[in-house]
Structure 1
């Protein structure tokens, strides 16, 4: 199993287009030790030629250009993206679907019933794509059974429901349903290795705890350093928990969670532009390193 991190930032990317916080202003001017990042997405492959795209970021065209493995050029029109799987219906994870509209056949799209409903009604991307390539919708069941998805031959996937809200535009925003947000366990039958991917993790449950303990590699929510980060910087009136994410620091935070996990690699992804861990020489980045925690970057490769 090969995993390529296409985008490692949270919604808005880094720098965010309208933000002039220390991080965004500094990376634009080159005055801080940091690199820009696109919005979060990964690609998974068994053979390095055909890939499952996990989340379709608004930055997908930029990500394809930055990752030539996604364009094998076997024909005049070609793509290495064989199918797409969505973790939720958030804008920063789904609007890239529109950029794939020139595909020559219906796009295989794996998502829960809740996500597919939001994308056919509240944010009707699947209906729009029906006027172009079309969508071959394939609902993901949350029955505890792993499934196989072409083009992956040796890798099985187990969707795990997470406690989280649907997007603001969903008809049930204030009535969370199982399936609004999922984590994903990827199991490579050839090596026996497991990867748990959850870019939007706001609450620990018994099922999530068990999955994380089984994983050899954890690729999980790194949105904010502290719960009041966005409020302190004057960027929002919402805490990290209110936005549906687990902060890294503080009691019950992601550092504390990862410290009790036996995984050989622990990696944070979906990093908000406000997070001080984006600065490679920051105290917070050094603290992560002391705990054996890595920070994902665009182009990061994980081979198992």
Structure 2
């Protein structure tokens, strides 16, 4: 099994195209050691040369061109991507689907709640039916039973519902449902190695902690360093919790939650452009490193 980080940033990427604040400005001016990042997505390969794309960000074209294994196969048209699995229905995780319309029908795996959002409030799947077509496979996030992806041998998955709000365009925005946002356990059938992937993780209860304890690598939400980060930088009015994210700092923050899994490889992904851990020379990055936690970057590979 092979996992490749295609994009490690949160929505908007880094630098964000219309931001002149903090590290965004520093990167434009060349005064920081931080490096640019595209929007969050990973790809998983099993025993053959086919790949599962997990989330389809608006940066998917760039990500594919920078990953030769995902490019066109021999012939007039083709791709190394076998299927797409969606963790939620957020814009930064789904709108890349529209750039994949020029080809064969797309094999899309997602929960019923995500499918509802993408055929109503944000009807991307309806639009794609007029181009390449969509073959939908439902994911049931029961946190127990494994499932497989067709033509992706050697890898199994477990989906678990996470506590999170649906996007603003969801028909049930004010009424959260299990399946609006999921975490994923990716299992190497040969080695037994388990990777827990959750780019949108707002809370870790005991049941979820038990699931994480059974994994070897934790690839989890690194969106914000503090609860009021966007407010403090003058670029937003929402807290991390209100956006469904668990910040790294604080007695109940992500670093504190990850401390109980010191025997695991722990990696932060989905990092917002406001987060100071993007700067490898920052005190916040030093705090993360001192906790034994890594920061994902575009092109990072995980080979269990």
Pairing 1:182–2:178 present: no
Q: Distance in 2 between matches of 1:223 and 1:48?
A: 33
The alignment's TM-score, normalised by the length of structure 1, stands at: 0.98
1:150 Cα deviation from its structure 2 partner: 2.2
The alignment's TM-score, normalised by the length of structure 2, stands at: 0.98
Q: Distance in 2 between matches of 1:284 and 1:83?
A: 37
Query: Counterpart of 1:269?
Result: 269
Q: Distance in 1 between matches of 2:210 and 2:57?
A: 29
The 5 A counterparts of 1:78-117 are 78-104=78-104, 106-117=105-116
Secondary structure at 1:123 match in 2: coil
Q: Distance in 2 between matches of 1:259 and 1:288?
A: 11
Q: Distance in 1 between matches of 2:141 and 2:274?
A: 34
8 A contact 1:112–1:141 mirrored in 2? yes
Query: Counterpart of 1:119?
Result: 118
Cα pair distance change 1:35/1:48, threshold 3 Å: farther
Pairing 1:253–2:247 present: no
Tell which deviates more after alignment, 283-292 or 139-148.
139-148
Q: Distance in 1 between matches of 2:57 and 2:155?
A: 23
1:277 Cα deviation from its structure 2 partner: 0.1
Q: Distance in 2 between matches of 1:25 and 1:211?
A: 40
8 A contact 2:83–2:107 mirrored in 1? yes
Question: RMSD over aligned Cα, in angstroms?
Answer: 1.0
1:48 Cα deviation from its structure 2 partner: 6.1
Query: Counterpart of 1:12?
Result: 12
Structure 2, unmatched stretches of 5+, are none
8 A contact 1:49–1:72 mirrored in 2? no
How many aligned positions are there? 303
Structure 1, unmatched stretches of 5+, are none
Q: Distance in 2 between matches of 1:40 and 1:224?
A: 14
1:288 Cα deviation from its structure 2 partner: 0.9
Pairing 1:138–2:120 present: no
Q: Distance in 1 between matches of 2:63 and 2:194?
A: 25
Q: What whole-Å deviation, never above 9, does each CA across 1:130-170 have from its counterpart, x for those lacking one?
A: 01100001111123311011232111000000000000111
Q: Distance in 2 between matches of 1:23 and 1:61?
A: 25
Q: Distance in 1 between matches of 2:286 and 2:262?
A: 21
8 A contact 2:141–2:182 mirrored in 1? no
Tell which deviates more after alignment, 134-143 or 31-40.
134-143
Tell which deviates more after alignment, 185-194 or 145-154.
145-154
Q: Distance in 2 between matches of 1:232 and 1:72?
A: 44
Q: Distance in 1 between matches of 2:48 and 2:292?
A: 28
Q: Distance in 1 between matches of 2:303 and 2:46?
A: 10
Q: What whole-Å deviation, never above 9, does each CA across 1:158-188 have from its counterpart, x for those lacking one?
A: 0000000000111111100000000000111
1:103 Cα deviation from its structure 2 partner: 1.6
Q: What whole-Å deviation, never above 9, does each CA across 1:111-139 have from its counterpart, x for those lacking one?
A: 00000000011110111000110000111
Q: Kindly report structure 1 stretches of 4+ aligned residues shifted beyond 4 Å.
A: none
